[in-house]
Structure 1
Amino acid sequence: MRFKCIVNGELLESSSGRFLEVRNPANVDEVVGEVPAMTAEEAERAVESSFLAFKSWSVLSPVKRAEIIKKGVKIAEEKSEEISRLLTLENGKTIKESREEVKSSLESIRYFAEGVLNILGESYPVDKSDRLSITIRQPVGVVSAIVPWNYPLLLLSWKIGPALATGCTVIAKPSHCTPLSTIKLAECFLEAGLPKGVLNVLTGKTSEIGRVLTEHPLVSKIAFTGSTSAGKNIMTSAADTVKRLTLELGGNCPFIAFEDADLNAAVKGAVRRAFRNCGQVCNAINRIYVHKSIFRDFVDLFVQETKKIKIGNGLREDVEMGPLTTKDGLETVKKYVEEAVGMGAKVLYGGRKPSGIEFEKGYFYEPTVLVDVDHSMKVVKNEVFGPTAPIMSFETFEEAIQKANDTEYGLVSYVYTQDLSKALKAAKLIESGTVGINNVSGGEFAYPYGGWKQSGFGVENSHHVFNEYMYIKHVRIDY
């Protein structure tokens, strides 16, 4: 399948005639699609079209914008199975997870389209009888929405949803690994009547078009999800024109099971959040701390639960974990596990590529459980972004909190305990933007989601996100 980019309401190939192949990570010999390798000049034209479209889209009533956006959502819902299949083919995740991602993405966009109607201005008491002081909010302008390959649709929806609803226009840049489902989703909004230039989709190499999206003077805001190192580069690129930034960056999420935790619930939650999407989740559990009194029971149950995970091609309905999406990701996991073992870690399960013909040509790796690990090992201190679960013990509440906070990241943390006082104290002391108590839900579009420390800044999701895409203006009137 050969796909085209969307620029100013038209489906276009690159003037260079070059295309990028998209391969199936479950079978790297299979090319599932091609997308245009757009040039910097074409990226500039996309920015200019978004700037022109902003003039009319921003003054359209929020009610009318919401109608168009929700019509696009409805069209996408009718094509959800096709979009889900594309997502599995390009990403490798299970078809069940792809369906869930598509569903959540569309619910997210609809939520923002409706939520923007509830944005209220403010009035302030003043010191003169013939004065009125109020605030209004207005869209910031053109937004570059840059998303990674692990949740390409969900993370895009968290950006284009509030951006379009508030009256901004968007240039979306999906990863070159997973652009197909993004293009197919965007086509639904064109079909719904979204005006030309309001939503552009560019594919290509970051080295060719990335700087245009982060440095062009007509771009007012950058919304980015990705690594901390890439986020720092974007901050530097955006500095000259003082662009607004929302950065959701790296994570190294801790999981704490106290001695009074519901053991079965804690184990099932930890396994799910450690290995979901093959561990390729920004809020995946990277390191597990278990009170020494329940450590052995926790580990035994964890291994038993991990062994139940069925690995295979994500298109099969019975598969629970597909391959990693990229070769680099696979090599990183292998390297980190091997290094940990060399430093004294013990692999209780996994630690290798599964055997069998169906796994030979894919980026498969078994869910891996490790003990005898510590913070000197990369598999613990780095964001692995793969199916690893290093498990350590602790003795005191203070030790657990100290270990959880012993990282440069602060995205999401998880705590299991039946002691309300302990739960609330931990939630307050842990340094992360989200803390899950007796659940591993991660990010949800109705609630604020953002990072502390080097996990980024700015908020995605909830009603708070609208302030990220709107200027606040004070109007003082003497009459």
Structure 2
Amino acid sequence: MVASTAAAETSQGIETYGNFIAGEWTAAVSGETMENRSPADRDEVIGRFASSAAADVDAAIGAADEAYRTWRFSSPITRANILHKAANILEGRIPEVGRELTREEGKTLKEGIGETTRAVQILRYFAGEAQQPSGEHYPSANPYTLLYTTREPLGVIAIVTPWNFPIAIPAWKIAPALAFGNTVVFKPASLTPLTAVRLVEALSEAGLPPGVLNLVTGSAANVGDPLVRDPRVVAITFTGSNETGAELRRIAAERGAKLQLELGGKNPAIVLADADLEHALGHVVSGAMMSTGQKCTATSRAIVDRSIIDRFTDMLAARIGALQVGDPLDAETQIGPLIDERAADRVAGEIDAAKQAGAELLVGGMRLGDGLERGAFVAPALFAGVDPESKLGQDELFGPVLGVIPVDTMEEAMVVANQVKFGLSASIFTRDLGKALSFAREIEAGV
């Protein structure tokens, strides 16, 4: 366990963590806490965290608003140095934080360490960005007029992040906000608060002034809602569900707040007849199944030329069926649990519904026992003969599920790829550069 100034007390070996407001770790005003349990073993309590409400949010926003008055005028070098120092602190804790991330979120240890390493890289990147030129000079028709632009901070930023990348996504949002002179109120996902605490610890220890970064843990209703509605919050950045994103659009529009959203995906991989199938196989399987398919960029549709579909589907079935599912801390494990029991039940239910609708389940799809009963484990699933207009072909499942869709031409493949409501990521496998470039022009996707 990483030594933590955030842990206020320990009971029966379980630490309790507070909010971070105005430079201090503090319990929720109500004194209430919430338990966080391992998705691999529901009997394992990771920790107890502040179960916050509107009063805690108000205090955090007030601290951020006060700190903004001076932080906005801090030098870019000062901000860059703090981010560099935070990166160094976090880098020294990669093994411990990566392991905690794995226990809390369920991705494999290799992925947990990799994500923590990525967060270090993000902090360093934005430390460099803080020192880049912040504007441009333009020629003027009037010799007595000076025309130039400059970047100015906005103010208090609400940062609301998901559980599936609990340190990389917060780092990607918090670091640029701080680098350019904003202050932050950070609401992490309730399912992964410990990883959020570790990131905030590193930034605090690096020398951030009190109030510049504030952490408030709790539910979306009790923390997220009052946070995004507060008029002192001038901008909101959110990664999560499409439904919440739609509600945030309405809230931000009503009060004129700036808004940045990262939402869902139903991402295609097109495999043409001339593709290197071994090469395509590795990328499609990893894209679909790594992080247990719980990422908005997961490959959930393999759109395959009919002339090779039997061969490629057999290859997929063999590879997916051989994936090792189990304890994410085990070095041999390739696929960990879903985030919680509710997610596992939902994905298993969607798999059953797809079978009832006529899709052919070739591999996996069942809840797993055999020593894994206490975790949220579902065997990675492969479907063949998926109707592109079916629920399986259209909706994001957010789990280890891949559907194979047959097509006869590249033109048909492009139509199928583009006929979903999402447009996040996409890939093509072909030896024909012309077709690859056509795909890049025509695909309705991009981050």
TM-score for the superposition, normalised by structure 2 = 0.95
Aligned length: 433
- Report the residue type matching 1:212 in the other structure: P
- Report the residue type matching 2:237 in the other structure: A
Q: Which structure ranks higher in relative contact order (CA pairs < 8 Å, sequence separation ≥ 6)?
A: 1
In 1, Cα distance between equivalents of 2:239 and 2:125: 20
Question: 1:225 maps to what in 2?
Answer: 239
In 1, Cα distance between equivalents of 2:112 and 2:62: 33
1:398 to 411, 416, 423: 411
Superposition pairs of residues 295-306 of structure 1, within 5 angstroms: 295-306=309-320
Deviation for aligned residue 1:120: 3.8
Superposition pairs of residues 149-298 of structure 1, within 5 angstroms: 149-298=163-312
Question: 2:328 maps to what in 1?
Answer: 314
Deviation for aligned residue 1:41: 1.1
Whether 1:64 and 2:78 are equivalent positions in the alignment is yes
- Report the residue type matching 1:292 in the other structure: R
In 1, Cα distance between equivalents of 2:192 and 2:21: 19
Q: 8 Å contact 1:339–1:377 — kept in the other structure?
A: no
In 1, Cα distance between equivalents of 2:143 and 2:398: 60
Question: 1:419 maps to what in 2?
Answer: 432
Deviation for aligned residue 1:154: 1.0
Deviation for aligned residue 1:361: 0.8
Question: 1:459 maps to what in 2?
Answer: none
Question: 1:366 maps to what in 2?
Answer: 379
The CA RMSD over aligned residues, in Å, is: 1.1
Which whole-Å deviations, capped at 9, do the CAs of 1:237-263 have from their partners, x for residues lacking one?
Answer: 222321111100111111101111111
Q: Aligned to 2:426, what secondary structure does the other structure show?
A: strand
- Report the residue type matching 2:352 in the other structure: E
- Report the residue type matching 2:159 in the other structure: A
- Structure 1's unaligned 5+ residue stretches are 434-449, 451-479
Are residues 241 and 422 of structure 1, via their aligned partners in 2, closer, same or farther at CA, if it must alter by over 3 Å? same
> How much identity, in percent, do the aligned residues show?
37
- Report the residue type matching 1:117 in the other structure: Q
Deviation for aligned residue 1:391: 0.4
Q: 8 Å contact 2:385–2:406 — kept in the other structure?
A: no
Are residues 375 and 328 of structure 1, via their aligned partners in 2, closer, same or farther at CA, if it must alter by over 3 Å? farther
- Report the residue type matching 1:237 in the other structure: I
Question: 2:98 maps to what in 1?
Answer: 84
Q: 8 Å contact 2:29–2:55 — kept in the other structure?
A: no
Which whole-Å deviations, capped at 9, do the CAs of 1:99-153 have from their partners, x for residues lacking one?
Answer: 0000001101210111221234212222212111111110111111100111111
Deviation for aligned residue 1:418: 1.1
Q: 8 Å contact 2:57–2:216 — kept in the other structure?
A: yes
Whether 1:354 and 2:368 are equivalent positions in the alignment is yes
Whether 1:47 and 2:35 are equivalent positions in the alignment is no
In 2, Cα distance between equivalents of 1:42 and 1:304: 51
Q: Aligned to 1:409, what secondary structure does the other structure show?
A: coil
In 2, Cα distance between equivalents of 1:301 and 1:327: 30
Question: 2:43 maps to what in 1?
Answer: 29
Q: Aligned to 2:127, what secondary structure does the other structure show?
A: helix
In 2, Cα distance between equivalents of 1:120 and 1:43: 32
- Report the residue type matching 1:24 in the other structure: S
In 1, Cα distance between equivalents of 2:255 and 2:59: 19
Deviation for aligned residue 1:390: 0.6
- Report the residue type matching 2:344 in the other structure: L
Deviation for aligned residue 1:377: 2.7
Q: Aligned to 1:2, what secondary structure does the other structure show?
A: strand
Q: Aligned to 1:138, what secondary structure does the other structure show?
A: coil
| 394-403 or 374-383, larger mean C-alpha shift | 374-383
Q: 8 Å contact 1:211–1:237 — kept in the other structure?
A: no
Question: 1:468 maps to what in 2?
Answer: none
Deviation for aligned residue 1:344: 1.6
Question: 2:5 maps to what in 1?
Answer: none
Whether 1:14 and 2:28 are equivalent positions in the alignment is yes
TM-score for the superposition, normalised by structure 1 = 0.89
Deviation for aligned residue 1:173: 0.7
- Report the residue type matching 1:231 in the other structure: G
Q: 8 Å contact 2:79–2:130 — kept in the other structure?
A: no
